[in-house]
Structure 1
Amino acid sequence: MPSRHEEERSEEGSVGDGLPDLGDSIDALTFEQILEMDDDEDEREFSKSIVFGFFEQAEETFVKMDKALEDRDLAELSSLGHFLKGSSATLGLTKVKESCEKIQHYGQQKDEAGTTDEPDEDLCLSRIKAILVVVKEEYAEVEKVLKKFYATPAAS
């Protein structure tokens, strides 16, 4: 039985025919929408600039998150989580987006889903510390996949 991504890629008119398996950390349809904006499928200058700009942005944000965690600044952590959530959602980086959303919620002193108040600051900070480890691993995984994608010339 084909995976969800294989089914999505087999749709008529999809640019996904030449895409490698992006794994379950990247939503193929969302990422393909970025690729569709490229003028040249061999160079992929537009999408590459967006993706590599995101890498730079994410790494700077992780440094800021580490500092905010050290400073016990929940509001800043929430804001940074919200910021990175949006950037990662644009590229279809689903796992990174979901983890950043959790950071945003914990920073607002809410539960994981953002529905219930959590007055214990220490608990929120410890949850953010744990999810920050996870999101950095998820980021490293998508960075590796995308750098490999852009290092490989598109098949003609």
Structure 2
Amino acid sequence: MADADDRYDEGMFGMPDFGDHVDNGIFSQILEMDESDDDRDFSAPLVGNFFDQATETFEKMDHAVANKDLGDLSSLGHFLKGSSATLGFTKIRDSCQVIQQYGHKLTVDGAPEPDSEVCLQKIKDALKAVKVDTAELEEMMKKFFG
């Protein structure tokens, strides 16, 4: 399999193929708001701010997990899901959806999950995954933006 640095979708502003981390259609719309491909004065700070926001949100989620605060976890998942969806960061969005749902004591399909411990474990698993996915995507974005 090709390294992410070697894969390019030439139809998307010479954008690398971020795999299933990014919806290229959405992300390319963000890039279109830049004045030029050489000057990413709109998209680069937006993406950078997202990763700062994600780090802060993960810290709050860790605290909420320690306190077994499902309601707070649901709110934080919803918040980060919206930000990631806006940028087209699909893997982050999907994990945040899991956190949001189980915080509401619902499965990802919307069925009730009355066992708080099951919900908390599903959230812990999703939080672990989203942190890894976020770190991977942040590295890819740093390479993309230079």
Runs of 4+ residues over 2 Å off in structure 1: none
- Choose from 89, 111, 119 the match for 2:114: 119
Superposed CA offset, 1:90-119 (max 9, x none): 111111100100000000001122x11111
Q: 2:100 maps to what in 1?
A: 104
Contact 2:107 2:113 in 1 (8 A): yes
1:149 is matched with: 144
Q: Deviations over 1:27-83 (max 9, x none)?
A: 111100000000132020100011001010000000000000001100000000000
Could you tell me which residue of structure 1 aligns to residue 6 of structure 2?
A: none
2:47 aligned residue (25, 47, 51): 51
Per the alignment, residue 92 of structure 1 pairs with 88
Within 5 Å, give how 1:3-152 maps onto structure 2. 9=9, 14=11, 16-113=12-109, 115-151=110-146
Cα offset, 1:130, TM superposition: 1.1
Alpha-carbon distance in 1 for matches of 2:66, 2:132: 20
List runs of 5+ in structure 2 lacking aligned partners: 1-8
Q: TM-score, normalised by structure 1?
A: 0.85
Q: 1:48 to 1:17 in 2, by over 3 A?
A: closer
- Percent sequence identity over aligned pairs: 51
Question: 1:26 & 1:149 partners in 2: Cα distance?
Answer: 13
Once the two structures are TM-superposed, the CA of residue 17 in structure 1 deviates from its matched residue by: 4.1
Moved more, 64-73 or 20-29: 20-29
2-side partners of 1:70 and 1:124: how far apart?
13
TM-superposed deviation, 1:18: 1.3
What residue identity is the alignment partner of 1:59?
Answer: T
In 1, are the aligned partners of 2:22 and 2:89 still within 8 Å (CA)?
yes
CA-based RMSD: 1.1
> 2:15 corresponds to which letter in structure 1?
L
Q: Distance in 1 between matches of 2:54 and 2:44?
A: 15
> For 2:121 and 2:89, how far apart are their aligned partners in 1?
24
